[in-house]
């Protein structure tokens, strides 16, 4: 049977020597034992391979030998779902952990891989308080919002373990990432609005074309009923509600001097008669037939809706000290001095209320639907209020457009706009006076 020492020597294998060489960090002994190893991915009693132990000891030379010469997978699965990138992050390894982590990432290690507790390498680095490893993982694409099985993020781990430097860095990274994603989602929302607007325009044009076709068919049917010439069917009828009679009269201009419609009793004899007299010659002949003493009265055109009426200058402020002088209540000042609290209205955005509706599902995601029931592309990942403010701007007044507490044109209304109160209330005149005397105070 032999002694216990002899039995121990007999049971030693090349695989066990390989594990001891890695734990000792002896590169030469590891190279010697690998010559007799039949399976490089064999696991020990804890469920780790030799690469897991090399990562646990942060032995960079052993890792290079196993990865480059033995071609071991850097993402090989170990006990409890741990990978070498999980085990290399340890505060006891010091600076060696950063070099080993950088080597694993360069050779294709997954930075967002999870173990059985759904912990990522960034969770482990945040728990250990290793700021250099946290920075390297974030720069390599690690997700700072990843949650483990307890719902903790890497930022939560820094708060639990009291690592302020890592917490500040992760908070800053998450804020910048949120702003960048929000800006990208707003760009996607603008593209979606342009697509919806184009869709609406196409629908309107299609509806207009269909309406024009229906009107044209009705017009041709009316021509056949009246017995008019077939040439009139070439007149295109617009889609809007344009009267057919004026359009017909416009098409017959110059062919029916009497103004009667063809087919009527008065116009049957003059339907085929045409006149070659041009309009300037007709006007000249009409002027010659007038009496010389008759003069044409020139009438000034009235002000139309589009014309700008001439405004009389306002009466200036009464500077007289005579009490009997009439009191001027409306202030006149040159325009452009101050815009005030009610500036000119700028052209508003397109409001899609008559075309779209927003529906929020049970999962919290928002979807955009048309009022006809056609489903549109899913909405960008933005809050519901932001989408409403962008798609329905009529329901959200701007900061300047919010109804103010005071909006008066006459000084006599100042004392009646606000009820008396014990608190000291600034009137608009006092505020403007203070702003003029002390600029940028408010």
- Position 210 in a domain: no
- Shared domain check, 42 and 66: yes
Distance, in Å, from the CA atom of 78 to the CA atom of 64, rounded to the nearest integer, reads 19
- Position 386 in a domain: yes
- Shared domain check, 425 and 377: no
Domains contained in the chain, number: 3
Q: What are the tens digits of pLDDT across the range 252-278?
A: 344 343 434 444 444 444 434 434 444
- Shared domain check, 412 and 354: no
Point out the least confidently predicted range of 190-194, 247-251, 284-288, 328-332.
247-251
- DSSP string across 185-237: HHHHHHHHHHHHHHHHHHHHHHHHHHHHHHHHHHHHHHHHHHT--GGGGGSPP
- Shared domain check, 132 and 67: yes
pLDDT reading at 421 higher than 70:
no
Last residue of a domain, one of 131, 146, 177: 177
- Shared domain check, 429 and 394: no
- DSSP string across 289-306: HS-TT--PPP-PPPP-SS
Point out the least confidently predicted range of 115-124, 133-142, 258-267.
258-267
Domain holding 379, by residue range, is 350-398
- Position 76 in a domain: yes
- Position 184 in a domain: no
Percent of the chain with pLDDT over 70: 63
pLDDT reading at 295 higher than 50:
no
In 33-144, where do the E strands start and end?
none
pLDDT reading at 280 higher than 50:
no
Are 24 and 56 in contact by the 8 Å Cβ rule? The answer is no
What does the pLDDT average to over 271-298? 44
Residue 25, token pair as written in the block: 């960090």
- Alpha-carbon distances, residue 35 vs 44, 131, 152 (angstroms): 19, 40, 45
Distance, in Å, from the CA atom of 189 to the CA atom of 354, rounded to the nearest integer, reads 18
Last residue of a domain, one of 122, 147, 177: 177
Q: What are the tens digits of pLDDT across the range 83-110?
A: 999 999 999 999 999 999 999 999 999 9
pTM for the model = 0.57
- Position 218 in a domain: no
149: CATH: 1.25.40.20
- Shared domain check, 118 and 58: yes
Whole-number average pLDDT of the chain: 75
- Shared domain check, 424 and 394: no
- Position 327 in a domain: no
- Position 284 in a domain: no
- Shared domain check, 371 and 412: no
Last residue of a domain, one of 177, 210, 234: 177
- Shared domain check, 39 and 70: yes
- Position 236 in a domain: no
């Amino acid at each position: 049977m032999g002694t216990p020492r002899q039995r121990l020597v007999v049971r030693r294998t090349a695989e066990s020597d390989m594990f001891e060489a890695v734990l000792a960090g002896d590169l030469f002994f590891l190279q010697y034992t690998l010559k007799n190893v039949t399976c490089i991915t064999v696991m020990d009693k804890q469920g780790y391979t030799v690469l897991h132990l090399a990562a646990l000891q942060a032995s960079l030379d052993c890792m290079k030998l196993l990865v480059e010469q033995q071609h071991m997978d850097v993402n090989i699965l170990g006990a409890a779902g741990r990978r070498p990138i999980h085990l290399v992050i340890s505060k006891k390894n010091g600076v060696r952990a950063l070099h080993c982590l950088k080597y694993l990432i360069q050779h294709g290690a997954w930075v967002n891989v999870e173990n059985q507790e759904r912990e990522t390498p960034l969770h482990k680095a945040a728990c250990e308080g290793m700021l250099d490893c946290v920075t390297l993982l974030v720069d390599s694409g690690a997700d700072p919002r990843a949650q483990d099985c307890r719902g903790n993020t890497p930022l939560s781990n820094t708060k639990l373990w009291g690592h302020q430097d890592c917490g500040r860095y992760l908070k800053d990274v998450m804020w910048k990432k949120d702003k960048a994603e929000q800006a990208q989602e707003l760009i996607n929302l603008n593209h979606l609005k342009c697509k919806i607007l184009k869709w609406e325009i196409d629908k309107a044009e299609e509806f207009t074309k269909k309406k024009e076709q229906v009107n044209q068919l009705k017009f041709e049917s009316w021509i056949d009923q009246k017995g008019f010439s077939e040439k009139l069917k070439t007149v295109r009828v617009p889609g809007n509600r344009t009267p057919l009679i004026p359009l017909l009269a416009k098409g017959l201009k110059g062919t029916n001097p009497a103004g009667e419609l063809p087919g009527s009793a008065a116009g049957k004899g003059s339907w085929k008669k045409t006149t070659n007299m041009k309009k300037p010659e007709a006007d000249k002949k009409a002027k010659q037939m007038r009496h010389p003493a008759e003069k044409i009265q020139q009438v000034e055109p009235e002000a139309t809706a589009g014309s700008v009426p001439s405004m009389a200058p306002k009466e200036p402020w009464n500077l007289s000290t005579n009490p009997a002088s009439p009191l001027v209540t409306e202030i006149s000042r040159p325009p452009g001095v101050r815009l005030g609290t009610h500036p000119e209205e700028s052209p508003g955005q397109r409001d899609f209320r008559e075309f779209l509706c927003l529906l929020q599902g049970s999962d919290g995601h928002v979807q955009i639907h048309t009022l006809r029931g056609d489903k549109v592309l899913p909405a960008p990942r933005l809050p519901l209020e932001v989408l409403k403010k962008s798609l329905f701007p009529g329901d959200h007044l701007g900061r300047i457009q919010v109804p103010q507490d005071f909006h008066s044109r006459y000084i006599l209304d100042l004392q009646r706009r606000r009820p008396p109160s014990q608190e000291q209330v600034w009137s608009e005149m006092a505020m403007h006076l203070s702003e003029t005397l002390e600029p940028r105070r408010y």
